[in-house]
Structure 1
Amino acid sequence: MLLSTVLVLAVSCVAVHSFKCCVPDQWEGVLGLTEGLVQNGQPAFVQGYVALSYDYTNKRVAEYVNLTTQGVPTLQKIIIDYNKNVMYTIKEEAKYCRAVQPAPPLSRCVPDTARETSRFHLGAGNNSLKVIAYEIDVPDMQITAVTSMTAQDCLPVGELMYGAANNVPFLASMGYVNIVPGIKDPSVFNVPSYCDKAEINDVPGLETGNFITSYIHRRLGFFQ
């Protein structure tokens, strides 16, 4: 998914950021993504979108994932409940449900160790949006992310990620669109009844070959 707005670089610097940027308590939006990776010596290409519902107040995240990997589509819903410490991966047509412990979440705020790399705006004149970009290292996942957030309200704009997950190198570009405050329909967090039979696996929920959503789970945990 491409942003059609014009990107204008206003100020460029490399420094540790001096103010706290924390996402709102509740919001929804759509994340478009494109990812390239090399697995077992073979290149692979992933593209698609994730519809997100983020609820810090009730410590939960819902995702509708629509990805295509080498032409093969994947449709699934993911619900993370940090109150119960469980992440459900749901395929509704097959009535399939897998339950695992979610990976430990990052802070819901841009970490103090993040390096501010640039300030810029999207659009022009009265239609411009001020944005701040940060570089964030995630050592336990061998990932570096350059994250762009709005200067006001600290909403995600885009993200460039590179590194390795499960020893698989990858490069990914993501953009957020149609963000709105609040949760329109709380039923997005409802877990289907057939998930009651799913035993919770104590292996952290890093889906093999799905490194982007694994990192999104970490970034959207935000519950520390």
Structure 2
Amino acid sequence: MYNSAFILVLLFFSVRGDIYQVCSRRQWEGIQYVVTGTVEAGVPTMIQSTIQFSFDANNSRIAASTSGFQDGHQFQRDFLFLYEQKTVYVIEDGNCHAEHLVNDFPPHCLPRNFTWEWARTWYGFELPDDELIIFGYTGDVGDLHYKVQMSGELMTPALQQIFGNYNNEPFFQTSEVVNTTRGIKNPDVFTLPSSCESAKVEGTYETPKYLLGATFPRDPSV
């Protein structure tokens, strides 16, 4: 069974009293490139995936189309996470199956123990005064160490690295988010496909708790 590793860190600055917290825009879209290395059943595995996603915190739903390779085997699968219905639909090879969502809508803030490390300004865009500011954060969740970069202009994720151990196995993941836009351009991405209309909810899906943000770490049927 192929995994399709996917992690989003969804960021912007919000102020609560005198405490700054890094959280996400309520609605945004983008394309994410992910490389994950881990161990499954004692066997090292490498997963490369591309995810086109739409994140809608206002309506507690996420749509994502994923494709990639795991150890040389190609996969393609689409996800529709409807958290108000506590259901995830997975479409693969024209077939659709549904599972009960164990988790609530994913967190879209970095933990408060994460710290700001640096800020960099990049020039060279269309207009002479154009610039891009990138902020860097670091922190730990359990036995995993995170390095997160975000865009100061869009307040959206740019790059993330994770390394350490999970379930007593070595884990590494690097991800980059590109073509990020605010809002939802086409709400139809959240329309249930006809192949899913008769799908009965069978089994459960639980997102691994070590990931930050919206995650699609594996085939829910596993």
Q: TM-score range with shorter-chain normalisation?
A: 0.7 to 0.9
Partner of 1:182 in structure 2? 183
Q: CA offsets, 1:147-171, max 9 Å, x none?
A: 1112234210110012344444221
Structure with higher helix content: 1
- 1:198 matched to 2:200? The reply is yes
Q: CA offsets, 1:76-127, max 9 Å, x none?
A: 0111112112222221x24131313153455322332212222223445744
Inter-partner Cα distance in structure 1 for 2:213 and 2:205: 19
Partner of 2:46 in structure 1? 45
Structure 1 residues not aligned, in runs of 5+? 1-16
Cα displacement (A) at 1:63 = 0.8
Q: CA offsets, 1:167-191, max 9 Å, x none?
A: 4422111111001121111111122
Cα displacement (A) at 1:58 = 1.1
Question: Which deviates further from its counterpart, 21-30 or 114-123?
Answer: 114-123
Matches within 5 A, 1:77-92: 77-91=78-92
Cα displacement (A) at 1:130 = 0.9
Letter in 2 for 1:137: D
SS of alignment partner, residue 21 of structure 2: coil
Conserved 8 A contact 2:98-2:199: no
Partner of 2:137 in structure 1? 134
State the identity %: 22
Inter-partner Cα distance in structure 2 for 1:68 and 1:122: 33
Structure 2 residues not aligned, in runs of 5+? 1-17, 216-222
Normalising to structure 2: TM-score of the pair?
A: 0.75
Cα 1:123/1:78, change in 2 over 3 Å:
farther
How many residues align? The count is: 194
Q: 2:214 aligns with which of 182, 204, 220?
A: 220
Cα displacement (A) at 1:66 = 0.8
Partner of 1:96 in structure 2? 96
Conserved 8 A contact 1:101-1:200: no
